[in-house]
Structure 1
Amino acid sequence: MVLISLGPLAGDVHLLNRACKGAGTHEDLLTEILIGRSNEEMFLLKEQYRRTHNKDLVQVVRGELSMKTERMFVMALTGTRDESTFVNHQQVQQDVETLYRAGPGKIGTDEIAICGILLQRSDAHLAAIAQAFPQRHRVSLTHMIESEFSGHMKDALLHVSRGAEQDGQGVYRDTQLLEAAMAGMGTKDERLCYRISRYHWNRPRFGAIKNQYQQLYRRSLRQRVEGETSGKYEKALVGIIEQN
């Protein structure tokens, strides 16, 4: 379990290098590591990447993406999010209308206007938008994104909207991501491994994810992992899950 030995910051740098290495970009991994980070986390991540690989992370990511998706990720990498816990409800309503006018209320979608709101607002503000949007327009923020976007940009923005909906902290979304790594034919071992490894660093939040998993799927995360893995791999993952 390389990620555990590296720690949270160096582990994310390792995963970023994995996401951008070789033919094709590991888009899911890039999204999960870069979208929704705090300004301090983004600064430390860029600095650690530079020290480890002697490369500028922004330039590396730009080389992996193109057009508006590239602009979206560069926007996220700037690390200039509003991090206030105070919610200005007048601004929330303005953002709801801007999102609608840039999406369903417009012929053609203004992707950058939507990204500017969803990538730059605070978590508390985004949670308020996710609550207010369906009240005003009778469709969820997630449904709007699913209708207006496609490809990697769609997946990245859904990561934001799904994190803002339900609990506003991404716990419900990340619980579903764990299940997605085990659902269907064959377990997506790499995704299961890096998700459990990354989530466990924040113990209180990981506890909330495990509780949410039990509520959603009527069995514990440990039981699910034991049913999908075996041997040393199973033992390692269960050990991480059961850490206090």
Structure 2
Amino acid sequence: MAKSKPLYFRHVRPSSKPTVVPVNPFNPREDAAILRKAMKGFGTDEKSIIQVLTRRSNEQRLRIAFEFKTLYGKDLVSDLKSETSGKFEDLLVALMTPLPQLYAKELHDAIAGMGTDEDVLIEVMCTLSNHEIHVIKQAYTAMYGTLLEDDLRGDTSGNFKRLMTSLCMGNRTEDFHADQEKAREDARSLLQAGELRLGTDESIFNAVLCSRSFPQLAAIFQEYQFLTGHDIDDAIKAEFSGDLEKALRAIVKVVRNKPLYFAERLHKSMKGLGTNDRQLIRIMVTRCEVDLGDISDIFQAKYGESLASWIENLGSLDRDSKSAKAGPGLKSEAEPESGS
């Protein structure tokens, strides 16, 4: 079976602030030589590895890996894994993984084995576009030989299973402009399915929140506020519980302010005793080419300290090299911005 071409996402978000953009001019052979030198002989030059890999786009990093194998007959990811360890190794491997495959692995690991990490399912399935979900589904089947939908359905239950199934279809409308009349109709339907009846008709919430475009949902939530005098989020808290409540509220938050949603997820991964390093790495790597600049701005506004300083204070991503602590695309005092 021929090896398939790597799958990529289309990032078309002109108003967002990435922290990693494609470098130009780009010389993948020169970058490959830098990485080879950094890992050859005794010891490892972590600083040079960081300077290259955190300042190239995901697609450019994959080009570097191709040139590395062409020049030296060795697999770049294998060499990185043999030369590094711990969370620093995990971060580098994530950076070198095509994003659809990275998401597919995160979803697979969230539902494989005993127990399910519903928070990962919510974070991924409730935040991505139709295109991104379809590309992840292709990657998932190529990697694991099963359908993502089947595995999600097999590991979840009840109304949460139905919500995940609907989101897995990747079939939201994609209009950019809201229809206010339809928004009023949907707001009334949500009100009648929840607050105005004994019990809750979860199917109406599922249908509306999984199939309407984000701009349309924003208009629906506004109309709901006009009709009831309170926020849709308050209604969901009153009508639902458990993972379904968390997922529906995540959709509401993403519709209103996606960077805020991820800022809160990052904060949660680092606060208290212990760090959810996997969550931290996943968000930093997947959002750095999309809106990590926006996330960082909101993080500082909400929590009073910069995202970079929080990560530096953890010291969890790299126990050997202080220069890695700020994460992809975030400057730190230990690692000033410079070319490689």
TM-score, scaled relative to structure 2 = 0.67
Q: Distance in 2 between matches of 1:19 and 1:197?
A: 18
**Residues 54 and 236 of structure 1: CA distance in aligned 2, closer, same or farther (over 3 Å):** farther
Q: Which residue of 1 aligns with 2:221?
A: 130
Structure 1 segments of 4 or more deviating over 3 A?
233-237
Q: Please state how far the C-alpha of 1:33 moved relative to its aligned partner.
A: 1.2
Structure 1 residues 30-68: Cα deviation after superposition (integer angstroms, max 9, x where no partner)? 111112422211211111111111111111111001122
Query: How many aligned positions are there?
Result: 239
Unaligned runs of 5+ in 2: 1-90, 332-336
Contact 2:277/2:317 (<8 A) preserved? no
Distance 2:118 2:165 in 1: 15
Structure 2 counterpart of 1:90, one-letter code: E
Which of 202, 206, 212 is the aligned partner of 2:292? 206
Secondary structure, counterpart of 2:318 in structure 1: helix
- Aligned partner of 2:185 in structure 1 is 94
2:143 matches 1:52: yes
Tell me: higher relative CO, structure 1 or 2? Use CA pairs within 8 A at least 6 residues apart. 2
1:145 correspondence with 2:236:
yes
Q: 1:231 to 1:24 in 2, by over 3 A?
A: closer
> 2:263 aligned with 1:175, yes or no?
yes
The 8 Å contact of residues 82 and 122 in structure 1, kept in 2 or not, is answered as: yes
1:200–1:237 Cα change, 3 Å: farther
Identical pairs, percent: 26
Shift of 1:241: 4.0
Q: Match for 2:103: what amino acid?
A: D
Between stretches 41-50 and 179-188, larger displacement belongs to: 179-188
Query: Quick check: which one's helix share is greater?
Result: 1
Alpha-carbon separation, structure 1, partners of 2:324 and 2:282: 12
| Structure 1 gap ranges (5+) | none
SS of 2:295's equivalent in the other structure is helix
Residue 223 of structure 1 pairs with residue 314 of structure 2: no
Counterpart Cα distance in 1 of 2:302 and 2:127: 24
Structure 1 residue aligned with 2:285: 197
Tell me the distance in 2 between the aligned counterparts of 1:44 and 1:80: 13
2:276 paired with 1:188: yes
Q: CA RMSD in A?
A: 1.8
1:18 to 80, 89, 109: 109
Q: Distance in 2 between matches of 1:22 and 1:195?
A: 23
Answer yes or no: is the 8 Å Cα contact 1:222–1:238 preserved in 2: yes
Aligned counterpart in structure 2 of residue 161 of structure 1, from 220, 238, 252 = 252
- Give 1:235 shift: 4.4
2:195 alignment partner, one of 74, 84, 104? 104
Amino acid of the residue matched to residue 301 of structure 2? Q
Pair 1:68-2:156 in alignment: no
